[in-house]
Structure 1
């Protein structure tokens, strides 16, 4: 390996400049996941109606999963040498999701989840493409896992929302 090449790689063997860009993109994902998480908490608390018991439990499952993913994203930012965003100001500045306020109707809550996951998938696919280009298997694998789970959740939410009452 040439000295110039060695100097451009970080301790993980990844190119420094591109890794900084990926860490910044992960912070955007982190911000959006924080908003998604808070949306899930809100609909969990405020859901009403005949499907309360079913949805209350499902929304709790989803926000617990989101909380774990938030931690994984922040730890990946740190692994790549970055600093994870951690203020509401940063989260709102980087947010691309609809903020769900006082949603208590089941169909509106499920629609918000589908819409939010669709936006998260867009961010994750950009990161997936960028990490593939530089051989960042750690981040790439994490995005692949997130995408697979979220696609399935969207399918399930769409199936639920299309059921006849």
Structure 2
């Protein structure tokens, strides 16, 4: 086993960076979805949802930066083209969504996909003794679980 300057196994670190790049691509897709629903939302819930969607896309944008910087910290290069994002994305793509219930559903479905990737990374980062990545995933998961709960409450659904 070869260790890098962070004291982490180089092969496990490389694998984690690949998973983080998949997460990055999916977060970029989620971010674009949020921008789209923020711009296009209509109806009686406009004022509340317009503000909420902006809050969510600002948060997603900050997370994109954190993920990219973690990939760099691990010694790899973050994906940065739309072509790469489209190839890696599992998050559903929302196009021309203006109805409140469809917009909120898109958020729930997107976060559900992100959580799958994050839980995989959490397990692998734990195995690699990579506390930096582990902590970031733990924080993301906690926040996104709460957002899903709130969005599902808005939809009048249970988790």
Query: How far apart, CA to CA, are the structure 2 residues paired with 1:134 and 1:150?
Result: 24
Relative to the length of structure 1, the TM-score reads 0.94
Query: How far apart, CA to CA, are the structure 2 residues paired with 1:18 and 1:104?
Result: 42
Relative to the length of structure 2, the TM-score reads 0.98
What does 1:74-85 correspond to in 2, within 5 Å? 74-85=68-79
Question: Which residue of 2 is the match for residue 158 of structure 1?
Answer: 152
Query: How far apart, CA to CA, are the structure 1 residues paired with 2:70 and 2:137?
Result: 11
Is 1:12 matched up with 2:37? no
Question: Which residue of 2 is the match for residue 128 of structure 1?
Answer: 122
C-alpha RMSD over aligned residues: 0.8
Query: How far apart, CA to CA, are the structure 2 residues paired with 1:23 and 1:29?
Result: 10
Structure 2 residue runs of 5 or longer lacking an equivalent are: none
Query: How far apart, CA to CA, are the structure 2 residues paired with 1:107 and 1:48?
Result: 11
Question: Which residue of 2 is the match for residue 113 of structure 1?
Answer: 107
Query: How far apart, CA to CA, are the structure 2 residues paired with 1:75 and 1:18?
Result: 17
Partner residue of 1:39 out of 33, 37, 61: 33
Question: Which residue of 2 is the match for residue 27 of structure 1?
Answer: 21
Query: How far apart, CA to CA, are the structure 2 residues paired with 1:139 and 1:114?
Result: 24
Is 1:91 matched up with 2:76? no
Partner residue of 2:95 out of 95, 98, 101: 101
Structure 1 residue 97: deviation in Å? 1.1
Structure 1 residue 13: deviation in Å? 0.2
Aligned length: 157
Structure 1 residue runs of 5 or longer lacking an equivalent are: none
Structure 1 residue 134: deviation in Å? 1.4
